[in-house]
Amino acid sequence: MLKGILVLDCTGRPGWLAGRLLADLSAEVTKIENPDAEIHTSDWRAYNVNKRLTRLDLGSSAGQRELDRLAASADMLLATFTPGTREAVLFQHGRLSAINPRLIVVAITPFGLTGPKADWIASDLELMAASGAMSLAGEPGGTPLRVSAPQSHGWAGAQAAIGALAALAARSRTGRGQCVDVSAQAATLVALAHAPTFVDVDGTTPTRAGAFMTGRSVEGARFRVFWPCRDGFVNFILYGGVAGRRTNTQLAGWMRECGAPLGALAQIDFAEWDPTLATQGQVDALEAPIAAFFSSITKRQFLEETHRREMLGYPVSTVADIAGDPQLSARGFWQDVAAANGEVERHCGCFAIVDGERPPLVSRNDAQVEAPRAAQVT
Amino acid sequence: MSASPQALAGIGVVEFGSYAAGPHIGKMLANFGATVIHVESFARPDGFRMQYPPYKDRKPGINGGGCFAYFNDSKLGITLDLKNREGRALARRLCRWGDIVIENMRPGVIDRLGLGFDTLKADHPGLIMLSTCNMGQTGPRADTPGFGSQLTALAGICGLTGERGGPPTVLYGPYIDFIASTLGAVAVLAALEQRRRTGTGAYIDISQYEAGLLFLAGPLLEYHLTGRIAERVGNDDPDAAPHGAYRCESDGWIALSCWSDEEFAALAAAIGRPEWSRDARFNTLAGRKGAAAAIDERICAWTRERGAAAAAAILQRAGVHAHPVNTMADLFTDPQLIARRHWRRRRHPVIGDHAYCGPAFQLSETPGEVSAAAPLLGADNDKVFRQCLGLSEPEYAAMREAGAFG
């Protein structure tokens, strides 16, 4: 969909996803890296596949001249930097627009180009803290947690791609590019759902609840979310409402078929049961036989049976479980791409299917030569 | 509103969406000037209106929900009964008016309502339509119903959150829905560019599951290449030490990290242990990881005597990565978010003055804006059906009589 759009990607880790998303939708993305930059990590390869690599020493005047030459004919330039540094001057919109007034300059910084923390430094950890995400993850009263794989980079990169394309829409009318000033802090705030609005609308401050769900019962009962199973954990919640009723009834039926003891579940009429009125004692009594049953099944059994019975709930996957999920292979999600060293790498494919087809990834990492189109794995 | 036309001015969006995954896309487009029409019915209002707190005065009410408001500012709200023949006919006319249609029903439902892409495209060859659901429109589990909060577990993200050896951890709300909505906005904007150049529309199928996996693309590739299975490791990072959250005074917390020996020396000096930078136990990454307990104890002793904001300011001045762990309440007093006008207060007819989330990026020439509070149910029927669709008074009355507006 973005065929012919030329993108110069001068980002570090926090911005890589932006260029990858644009490349996946057929933009021609050139990844600029310093001559000594490490490009063999899994993260680098995963987020820079589908881009063309060019090595440039942006610390040298020759490198800067080459950057300016490339910027003169590009549609977009993506960059990550700390405001106030020498690099920031290089990527200044005013400087670049004098070279190419149509250029859209996307600046991805931890806190944005303006404001009292514009020159603060932050890695994923500090961004997950600054956005509020860490305050919502972890045990109640315990250490706030980030996700063990960086997430703020994804949030920032994705918002940067939206900004770049919104600016492209504006350019189609005005003929001029502009500066897209992305704050990674603000981008990561999107991850919080509507949690902030509690403060504003009813004066409460949502916080972390570990492996449980709270705030649903007026009696203060907490409901288990993660349950040990034979080979890991599953995510299951005793919900109310129409969906919960079906799920709970189906679970009791499944347990009965397996000969599992039903305990308190045998007496309950889920058509009448209301979790908002449940006490902790009632919840514990219902959850005990479920815990025993789940401990006897595998994640894959849980996935297949919940699907078959149209129940709510999913296993807690590892990357290995995800790699073997038939749903993903049926949709051609995995794409095999030839790497520069000749090896085949299996990547996450484009995030969207467009007009019935997943736009294929293209191997471009071997310098300037475009490799054959990637085979779709089925 | 800004004086210059906004980036997406003139773009019409019709949302047959509810909860988060569909409507959040429309909100982002509306904040840059698209005219977004959120379609509900009186019989089936958006589930976010009544099923999720917070509510004005803590009383559930169809127009007093903060959750619905948060994802639907800057839009027009209308009602149409899609089970009614006239209602469906009007929905189809509305799609002819729009440039983009967004829906997040279960696969197949929108087709059964006579509003599938092939039908709509026959009326409007340049139409862009996006469908978003748990698993995508195809595949053996396409029909799976599901909540984003649980899908986040299937996509591996909950399993990668928590202490080493402990259970997985809940991420707040339908975390993965927002990954999918953000990527969905990228896709529809790319489709707009295609249409500008070629006149051709597009049908975009977003699987929220697949979108979420893009945020774990590195660990997934690592598994495919080496068989290594990523695990939850608390707040650790292989390339930094220290790297974690530390308690401050008044129940506050600070997150801080050191990514080089020099940065650790700066931290050591700032917390009153300058000699540490010359200590062989601490002047390599491996050494600091091995001596984590001793380092953490000293950092804690220093942070506990300070507020998180003061401690972060000292460390930043010293050149150390640091930031307070903001609570939800802190987000409204964070000087950076205030300076960048992240929160935009608007007057809602029922909730009153309250804060909406501004865009995550600023456009220098065509800035984003929260142009209005979220609509009441059906608040814009008159405007949309008369002005956008041009229904005459008798037509409008006849449609009402026929039950088209639910």
Instruction: Give yes or no for residue A323 having a pLDDT over 50.
Output: yes
Looking at A126-140, A172-186, A204-218, which range is the least confident one? A204-218
* pTM passes above 0.90: yes
User: Helix H segments across B227-376?
Assistant: 261-270, 285-290, 292-303, 308-317, 335-339
Among the listed residues A33, A173, A167, the one whose alpha carbon sits nearest the alpha carbon of residue A103: A167
Any idea what the Cα angle at residue A130 is, between residues A178 and B356, rounded to 5°? 65
Catalytic residue among B81, B177, B334, B380: B177
Instruction: Give yes or no for residue B184 having a pLDDT over 70.
Output: yes
Which two tokens mark A269?
């009429």
Read off the pLDDT band of A209 (50, 70, 90).
Answer: confident
- What pLDDT sits at residue A375? 38
B167 contacts on A by Cβ (under 8 Å): 210-211, 226, 228, 233
- What pLDDT sits at residue A371? 36
Amino acid at B261: D
The CA–CA distances, whole Å, from B301 to A181, A219, B122, B213, B247 equal 38, 38, 69, 39, 9
The tens digit of pLDDT for each residue in A303-312 reads 999 999 999 9
B209 contacts on A by Cβ (under 8 Å): 327-328
Read off the pLDDT band of B190 (50, 70, 90).
Answer: very high
Looking at A174-188, A201-215, B392-406, which range is the least confident one? A201-215
Amino acid at B346: R
Looking at A201-205, B116-120, B376-380, which range is the least confident one? A201-205
Backbone angles phi, psi at B343, to 5 degrees: -95, 130
Q: Which residues contact A305 (CB under 8 A, 6 or more apart)?
A: A254, A297, A311
High-pLDDT (> 70) share of chain B, %: 99
Chain A, nearest residue to B364 by Cα: A179
Backbone angles phi, psi at B184, to 5 degrees: -60, -40
- Report how far Cα B60 is from the mean position of its chain's Cα atoms: 24
Residue window 338-367, chain B: list those with CB within 8 Å of chain A.
339-340, 342, 351, 354-355, 357-366
How many C-beta neighbours within 10 Å does residue B311 have?
A: 26
Instruction: Give yes or no for residue A86 having a pLDDT over 90.
Output: no
Q: Rounded mean pLDDT of B334-355? A: 97
Instruction: Give yes or no for residue A377 having a pLDDT over 50.
Output: no
Task: Please tell me the distance from the alpha carbon of residue B340 to that of residue B363, in angstroms, as a whole number.
Answer: 12
Task: Please tell me the distance from the alpha carbon of residue B14 to that of residue A59, in angstroms, as a whole number.
Answer: 48
Instruction: Give yes or no for residue A378 having a pLDDT over 50.
Output: no
Partner-chain residue, chosen from A42, A160, A170, that has the shortest CB–CB distance to B7? A170
Read off the pLDDT band of A298 (50, 70, 90).
Answer: very high
The tens digit of pLDDT for each residue in B156-181 reads 999 999 999 999 999 999 999 999 99
All domains of chain A in start order, with CATH: 6-190 (3.40.50.10540), 212-318 (3.30.1540)
Instruction: Give yes or no for residue B119 having a pLDDT over 80.
Output: yes
Task: Please tell me the distance from the alpha carbon of residue A175 to that of residue A169, in angstroms, as a whole number.
Answer: 10
How many C-beta neighbours within 10 Å does residue B114 have?
A: 14
Contact B264, B289 (CB under 8 A): no
Q: Cβ separation of A147 and B168 shorter than 8 Å?
A: no
Q: Cβ separation of B139 and A331 shorter than 8 Å?
A: yes
Give the strand pairing for B361-363 and A179-183.
antiparallel
Q: Cβ separation of B361 and A321 shorter than 8 Å?
A: no
Which of A127, A147, A310 is the mutation pick for testing B, counting most B CBs within 10 A?
A147
Name the minimum distance, in Å, from the CA of A119 to any CA of chain B: 9
Identify whether B237 is a catalytic site residue: no
Q: Cβ separation of A354 and B255 shorter than 8 Å?
A: no
Contact B163, B89 (CB under 8 A): no
Partner-chain residue, chosen from A182, A211, A213, that has the shortest CB–CB distance to B167? A211
Name the minimum distance, in Å, from the CA of B222 to any CA of chain A: 5
Q: Cβ separation of B140 and A318 shorter than 8 Å?
A: no
Q: Cβ separation of A137 and B170 shorter than 8 Å?
A: yes
All domains of chain B in start order, with CATH: 12-215+340-401 (3.40.50.10540), 243-330 (3.30.1540.10)
The tens digit of pLDDT for each residue in B300-328 reads 999 999 999 999 999 999 999 999 999 99
Any idea what the Cα angle at residue A201 is, between residues A196 and A206, rounded to 5°? 40
Amino acid at A13: R
User: Helix H segments across chain A?
Assistant: 16-24, 42-48, 61-72, 86-90, 93-99, 124-130, 152-174, 184-188, 195-202, 241-257, 280-294, 299-308, 319-323, 326-330
Chain B, nearest residue to A193 by Cα: B173
Q: Cβ separation of B170 and A312 shorter than 8 Å?
A: no
Which two tokens mark B85?
């023949």
- What pLDDT sits at residue B3? 54
